[in-house]
Structure 1
Amino acid sequence: MRWMKLLLPALVGMTLAADQPSATFSSFNDWLGAETRGVRIGADGRLTLAPSLRRVAQLPEGVIWSAVPDGTGGAYLSAGTEGKIFRYSGGQVRPVGQVKGGIVFAMARLGQDLILAPTGEGKLLRMTANGDVKPFADIEAKVVWSLAVDGDNVLAAGGAERGAVLVQAREGSSRLLASLPDETAFTALAPDGQGGWYLGSHGRGLVLRYSRQGDRLETLMDTPFEEVRALAVVDGQLYIGADNGLTPKFSTGQLERREGYLQAAETGAAMRSAVLRMDRDRVPETLWQSAQSQVYALMAWKGQLLVGTGNRSRIFGIPLGTERRNDPFASLQELGTAQATAFLPSGGDMLVVGSNPAELHLLSEAQATEGTLESRIIQGAPLADWGRAYLTSEQPQGTNVELQFRTGSTETPDATWSPWTPPLRSGERPALPPARCAQFRLRLTSTRGGATPVVEGVDLHWAPRNLAPVWAGVDIMPPGLVITRNAPPDDIGIERVPLSTQKLIPALGYAGAEKRSFRRGGQSFVFHVNDPNGDALAFDIRLLPEHGSPMALEKGWKERFFTFDTLPVPDGRYRLEVTASDAPSAPFNAALTSLWVTPPFLVDHTPPAIAELTAVPEGGGLRVKFTARDETSLLKEAAVSADGEHWLQIAPEDRVFDQQEERFDVLVPRDQVRGDRILVKAVDQNNNEQTASVSVGGAGKAR
Structure 2
Amino acid sequence: MKKSLIAVTLILISLLIFSMETGKLNDIPSSVKSSLQLSSGIAAGKDFVIPGFKAQTILKNTDYPIYSMTEHNSRLLAGCGDAGRIIDISSGADIASFSEGEIVYSLLSVDKTTLFASIQPSGIIVRLTDKKIDTIFSFPDKSVNLLKKIGNTVYTAVGNELFAYKNGGFEKIVKVNDRNILYFEEIDGYIYISTEGAGKVIKYSIKENSQEVVFSLSSGEIQMFKKAGGRLIIAANMTLPMGDGTESFCGILLSVENSAIDTIAREDFPYSVSISAFDGILLGASVPGRCYYYDLKNYFYLGSLENDFIMSLYECEKCAYIGTAKSNSIIKLSGGDKPSDFLSSVIDAQKDVSITAFFPLTKKNGKFFVRTGDTYSIDSFWSGFMIVKPQMNESMSPSRYLQYRYSFNGSDDTLYNVSMFYKTKNHSPKFKSINIYPERIIPDYANTPEWEGEILYKRSFYPEIKDVNIYKSKRNIKFVIWNCFDIDQDKLDYDVYLISGENAFLAAKNISASYFVINLESFKEGYYKVKVTASDSSDNNDPLSAEIVSGEFYIDRTPCEFSDDIFEKNVLKFRVNDNSSLIDEVSYSVNGSIFKRVIPADGIYDSKSELFEIMIEREKNQSLSIVVKGTDSSGNSSIFSKVVK
TM (norm. structure 1) is 0.46
Normalising by structure 2, report the TM-score.
0.49
